Chain A
Amino acid sequence: MAEALLEINNLRIEATVYAPGEKPRNAVIVDDVSLRLEPGKVMGLIGESGAGKSTIGLAALAYGRGGIRLSGGKIMLNGREIRRASSTELRGLRGREVTYVAQSAAAAFNPAKRLMEQVIEATLKHNLMPKTEAEARAVELFRTLSLPEPESFGQRYPHQVSGGQLQRAMTAMALCPKPDLVIFDEPTTALDVTTQIDVLAAIKTAIATSGVAALYITHDLAVVAQVSDEIMVLRGGQLVEHGTVQQIIEEPREDYTRALVSVHKIDHREKLPEGEPILRAEGITARYGAMNEDVLSDVSVDLYAGQTLALVGESGSGKSTMARVITGLLPPREGTLVFDGNPLPGALKDRSREELRQLQMIYQMADVAMNPRQTIATIIGRPLEFYFNMRGRERDARVQELLDAIELGEGYADRYPAELSGGQKQRVCIARALAAKPKLIICDEVTSALDPLVADGILKLLLNLQKREGVAYLFITHDIATVRAIADSIAVMYQGRVQRYGTKTEVLTPPFDDYTDLLLSSVPEMELGWLERVLEHRRMESAGN
């Protein structure tokens, strides 16, 4: 066994929690976690939100965010205990032996300084090399990370480059001082999937070239499988399972790990279009207020009763704008909407109450989609009063029925949204939409803010409800796995247009157009060597052209 670079033993991390209306209390964030990392190796830390993975990552720098205390155990770096090190010692190791890549590079770069100055700052402050040498190294790193115009890239300001480029610049910043260890904290989570694959490849190349060790933190098992040697699965601040990548994704030992590996493997057989569509959009073109560019141009799709149409695309593709057009919040400049055989007015104020009732919406952030000052009973009960004039006991009984339908059961009616978990909140939003007995529900990224297992639960619930109530879904998402799980037909959106449209099988079966190919092949798959295969395939393709 080689000498360990980082060895954490029985780490315990605590924090003071300030809950509303309660006295501050102590909470254990990480409990009894040990890990061992050898030089040049990459360890993946994976878990859902609240698993303590980022906290452990920062503990390798002996750093705790606001009020977090590293209260027990040992953190050995290069043979030194750093948990109790003095602030001078810590300054000596941070930015020299260990560096950090944050999730949001856009926030982590100082907006007032040029990239180069920030990339070489730690190197200069620790007197690791002269300025010209550091700059040359930075340019070399920019090149390794496939940044455009590496010679002059550093002269730009953070706001002058794209999100994916900024994330790579942050990696260059972390690698510049030639550290022994880099902590990658969800470095690709905020990126679009087609950008993510490039950044992922760049990070992997950079790690390999520099021979640095890394802790790679993410919630996406498929991503971490591409870059790591070993994986640690965490849950609620405790270690669930530790093994090589192969063992974890091919023969997981724990139930929780198995659930993570099999996430999104919902078996959904598509339904074929039949009868008249419940919603027909024809030639929709739309733009926002004063902008002189169309966000949507000539979009035509059909959605059949009791079925699901997925609008899939990356940020800026116009998929959410399409939802705004259908709900009437943004009347289209051209094109028509036909709902259940009748023309649907473009503007919200021109629609009848009956038309509004038939068409409900569920939002991405359940947190802000519910009035925090209303109880669950009011939130779900209001559509009953408003559309069906239901009052008193009749209403309460129906609210309870709906709560049962979303699998929440008794005792939730009098609670406030803040007392529910993320998944429960989203369920209440579904119940609110169902209360109106609509024919169509627009689901705008309804699972993207949730942890994968919770998201799976929501998708299964939506499928069940569709079977029972015969409601149609317009499902807007950026996530291909979600699309596979729920859609009957798919429209791939790109730059405000429908790029590809048809039944699920038609859309997901080759031959593809270029964009759909890029999009589909960029989605990380849970298997070893996926990244290399895709990149190799793309190289061949471009060589062939």
Chain B
Amino acid sequence: MHPIVKLVTQRLALGLLLLFAASVLIFLGTQILPGDVAQAILGQSATPEALANMRAEMGLDRPAITRYFEWLFNALQGDLGTALSNGRDITESIASRLTNTLFLASVAAVVSVPLAIFLGLFAVRFRDRWPDRLISAITLTSISLPEFLLGYIMMYVFAVKLSWFPSVSTINDSMSFLEKLNAVALPALVLTLVVLAHMMRMTRAAILNVMQSAYIETAELKGLRRFNVIARHAMPNSIAPIVNVVMLNLAYLVVGVVVIEVVFVYPGMGQYLVDHVSKRDVPVVQACGLIFATIYIGLNLVADVVSILSNPRLRHPK
């Protein structure tokens, strides 16, 4: 077997293992702690009998390990259980919300990824001059603000004062693509700003790192144009670090979505999760946690696989 196939297979297997372990952790996170779901629903003043009944009814009296595997196998078959708070099927509720969340995240990604890479290159080109310093300053400010505050500032300026966009992002299936786009414009803008700074700064660092290699000097001493030096010599070696940067930030974006959805009252996974955390609806929280963790681990996995694939030492072994 080609060593690269072996490595990628190993990495994928490791990803699955990690995912499995993460599911255990999420399940444990809601089990080991004092109090259980029954307690949470009935409150502190519940009588022991009422608690016992509730536990029996929900199957909580069986060992945790049995319940875990039941939960996992059902989840693998697409059955995420029913919500405690309203008795609805979780898979059904999540389906449309997940689509909405992914839509919002994709819009933000489509704008932010190319922009960040471009600005990162721009900062490298004008290294230590004012464009670079300006970018650094903006980065510093934006990593100093929580996402939700950035959201409200944008809302205050663009929705309330300027009235360019709606302040609340309602979205439904009957809307056309453009209408949807208009609805998510403001939250997508906020998300873009949130990841842009990080992504730009990390892209800049990744490219600078490559640009300081001796082979870049070799290329310059061949009399190549600046553009050729970057395109032919820096880029092939920058792909892996840049993909890494992008994936890390997309993973970060997935988390940012949770908060931004609450700010703009957007009907996505994030709001669904937060709502049910307050209601102590454990099955919903577990389901959402599992999905967010899967996306997060998946993106990191992609980054690792790309960096394996783009390594010439692995692609062309001795």
Is chain B found bound to chain A in the same assembly?
Answer: yes
The answer to whether B222 and A157 have CB atoms under 8 Å apart is no
Between A and B, 9 residue pairs with Cβ closer than 8 Å are A93-B223, A99-B222, A102-B218, A108-B214, A109-B218, A110-B219, A111-B237, A159-B312, A160-B318
Task: Enumerate chain A residues within 8 angstroms of B223, measured Cβ to Cβ.
Answer: 90-96, 122, 125-126
The answer to whether A100 and B228 have CB atoms under 8 Å apart is no
Give A66's nearest chain B residue, CB to CB.
B212
Task: Enumerate chain A residues within 8 angstroms of B213, measured Cβ to Cβ.
Answer: 107
Q: Is B217 located at the chain interface by the 8 A CB criterion? A: yes
With A94-B223, A126-B223, A160-B318 known to touch, is A108 a contact of B218 (CB < 8 Å)?
Answer: yes
Q: Is A104 located at the chain interface by the 8 A CB criterion? A: yes
A534 CA to B222 CA, complexed, in Å: 35
The answer to whether A125 and B218 have CB atoms under 8 Å apart is no
Q: Is B118 located at the chain interface by the 8 A CB criterion? A: no
Task: Enumerate chain A residues within 8 angstroms of B222, measured Cβ to Cβ.
Answer: 94-95, 99, 121-122, 125
Q: Is B62 located at the chain interface by the 8 A CB criterion? A: no
With A100-B218, A107-B214 known to touch, is A91 a contact of B225 (CB < 8 Å)?
Answer: yes
The answer to whether A110 and B233 have CB atoms under 8 Å apart is yes
A122-138: CB near B (< 8 Å → 1, else 0) gives 10011000000000000
Q: Is B129 located at the chain interface by the 8 A CB criterion? A: no
The answer to whether B220 and A157 have CB atoms under 8 Å apart is no
A107 CA to B213 CA, complexed, in Å: 7
**CB proximity of A107 to chain B, nearest CB, Å:** 4
Summarize B's interface: helix, strand, loop or mixed: helix
Give B224's nearest chain A residue, CB to CB.
A125
Chain B interface residue bracket vs A? 20 to 34
A122 CA to B222 CA, complexed, in Å: 5
**CB proximity of A196 to chain B, nearest CB, Å:** 20
Q: Is B161 located at the chain interface by the 8 A CB criterion? A: no
| Centre residue among B213, B222, B233 by max chain A CB count within 10 A | B222
A95 CA to B228 CA, complexed, in Å: 14
Task: Enumerate chain B residues within 8 angstroms of A91, measured Cβ to Cβ.
Answer: 223-225
Given contacts A107-B213, A111-B312, 15 further A-B contacts (CB under 8 A): A63-B221, A94-B222, A99-B222, A100-B218, A100-B221, A102-B214, A107-B214, A107-B215, A108-B214, A111-B215, A111-B237, A113-B233, A126-B223, A159-B313, A160-B318
Q: Is B236 located at the chain interface by the 8 A CB criterion? A: yes
Task: Enumerate chain A residues within 8 angstroms of B2, measured Cβ to Cβ.
Answer: none
Task: Enumerate chain B residues within 8 angstroms of A159, measured Cβ to Cβ.
Answer: 312-313, 316, 318
With A95-B224, A100-B221 known to touch, is A108 a contact of B318 (CB < 8 Å)?
Answer: no
Q: Is A61 located at the chain interface by the 8 A CB criterion? A: yes
| Centre residue among B218, B220, B233, B313 by max chain A CB count within 10 A | B218
Task: Enumerate chain A residues within 8 angstroms of B214, measured Cβ to Cβ.
Answer: 102, 104, 107-108
Task: Enumerate chain B residues within 8 angstroms of A543, measured Cβ to Cβ.
Answer: none
**CB proximity of A152 to chain B, nearest CB, Å:** 14
The answer to whether B312 and A109 have CB atoms under 8 Å apart is no
Q: Is A112 located at the chain interface by the 8 A CB criterion? A: yes
Task: Enumerate chain A residues within 8 angstroms of B316, measured Cβ to Cβ.
Answer: 157, 159-160
Give A170's nearest chain B residue, CB to CB.
B218
Residues 62 to 109 of chain A near chain B (Cβ within 8 Å): 63, 65, 90-96, 99-100, 102, 104, 107-109
Q: How many residues of A contact B (CB 8 A)?
A: 29
A91 CA to B229 CA, complexed, in Å: 12
A61 CA to B222 CA, complexed, in Å: 10
Residues 296 to 318 of chain B near chain A (Cβ within 8 Å): 312-313, 316, 318
**CB proximity of B93 to chain A, nearest CB, Å:** 48
**CB proximity of A65 to chain B, nearest CB, Å:** 8
Residues 482 to 541 of chain A near chain B (Cβ within 8 Å): none
What are the 8 A-B residue pairs with the smallest beta carbon separation, nearest first? A95-B222, A95-B223, A94-B223, A107-B214, A122-B222, A112-B236, A110-B215, A91-B223
Give B317's nearest chain A residue, CB to CB.
A160
Q: Pick the contact of A110 from B225, B236, B313, B318 — CB < 8 Å?
A: B236
**CB proximity of A323 to chain B, nearest CB, Å:** 29
Task: Enumerate chain A residues within 8 angstroms of B236, measured Cβ to Cβ.
Answer: 110, 112-113
**CB proximity of B230 to chain A, nearest CB, Å:** 12
**CB proximity of B235 to chain A, nearest CB, Å:** 9
**CB proximity of B285 to chain A, nearest CB, Å:** 43
Give A126's nearest chain B residue, CB to CB.
B223
Task: Enumerate chain A residues within 8 angstroms of B221, measured Cβ to Cβ.
Answer: 61, 63, 94-95, 99-100
A318-360: CB near B (< 8 Å → 1, else 0) gives 0000000000000000000000000000000000000000000
Q: Pick the contact of A109 from B215, B225, B313 — CB < 8 Å?
A: B215
**CB proximity of B127 to chain A, nearest CB, Å:** 12
A526 CA to B293 CA, complexed, in Å: 68
A395 CA to B16 CA, complexed, in Å: 60
A90 CA to B219 CA, complexed, in Å: 13
Task: Enumerate chain B residues within 8 angstroms of A157, measured Cβ to Cβ.
Answer: 312-313, 316
B193-227: CB near A (< 8 Å → 1, else 0) gives 00000000000000000000111011111111100
A113 CA to B220 CA, complexed, in Å: 16
Task: Enumerate chain A residues within 8 angstroms of B218, measured Cβ to Cβ.
Answer: 100, 102, 108-110, 118
Give A91's nearest chain B residue, CB to CB.
B223
With A159-B318, A160-B318 known to touch, is A108 a contact of B224 (CB < 8 Å)?
Answer: no
A160 CA to B316 CA, complexed, in Å: 8
Task: Enumerate chain B residues within 8 angstroms of A110, measured Cβ to Cβ.
Answer: 215, 218-219, 233, 236-237
With A125-B228, A160-B318 known to touch, is A111 a contact of B313 (CB < 8 Å)?
Answer: yes
Task: Enumerate chain A residues within 8 angstroms of B224, measured Cβ to Cβ.
Answer: 91, 95, 121-122, 125
Task: Enumerate chain A residues within 8 angstroms of B215, measured Cβ to Cβ.
Answer: 107-111
A93 CA to B215 CA, complexed, in Å: 19
Residues 284 to 343 of chain A near chain B (Cβ within 8 Å): none
Task: Enumerate chain B residues within 8 angstroms of A65, measured Cβ to Cβ.
Answer: 217
| Centre residue among B215, B219, B233 by max chain A CB count within 10 A | B215
Task: Enumerate chain A residues within 8 angstroms of B312, measured Cβ to Cβ.
Answer: 111-112, 157, 159
The answer to whether A108 and B217 have CB atoms under 8 Å apart is yes
A160 CA to B318 CA, complexed, in Å: 5
| Centre residue among A91, A95, A112 by max chain B CB count within 10 A | A112
A92 CA to B224 CA, complexed, in Å: 9
A151-181: CB near B (< 8 Å → 1, else 0) gives 0000001011000000000000000000000
Give A113's nearest chain B residue, CB to CB.
B236
A63 CA to B218 CA, complexed, in Å: 11
Task: Enumerate chain A residues within 8 angstroms of B219, measured Cβ to Cβ.
Answer: 110, 121
Residues 110 to 129 of chain B near chain A (Cβ within 8 Å): none
**CB proximity of A168 to chain B, nearest CB, Å:** 15
A100 CA to B221 CA, complexed, in Å: 7
**CB proximity of A163 to chain B, nearest CB, Å:** 14
A120 CA to B205 CA, complexed, in Å: 30
With A102-B218, A159-B312 known to touch, is A112 a contact of B237 (CB < 8 Å)?
Answer: yes
A121 CA to B224 CA, complexed, in Å: 9
**CB proximity of A508 to chain B, nearest CB, Å:** 37
A95 CA to B220 CA, complexed, in Å: 9
A157 CA to B213 CA, complexed, in Å: 17
| Centre residue among A65, A110, A159 by max chain B CB count within 10 A | A110
A259 CA to B257 CA, complexed, in Å: 71
**CB proximity of B286 to chain A, nearest CB, Å:** 40
**CB proximity of A268 to chain B, nearest CB, Å:** 39
**CB proximity of A183 to chain B, nearest CB, Å:** 9
A61 CA to B224 CA, complexed, in Å: 13
Q: Pick the contact of A63 from B220, B225, B233, B313 — CB < 8 Å?
A: B220
Task: Enumerate chain B residues within 8 angstroms of A61, measured Cβ to Cβ.
Answer: 221
A94 CA to B221 CA, complexed, in Å: 5
A112 CA to B313 CA, complexed, in Å: 8
| Centre residue among A63, A92, A121 by max chain B CB count within 10 A | A121
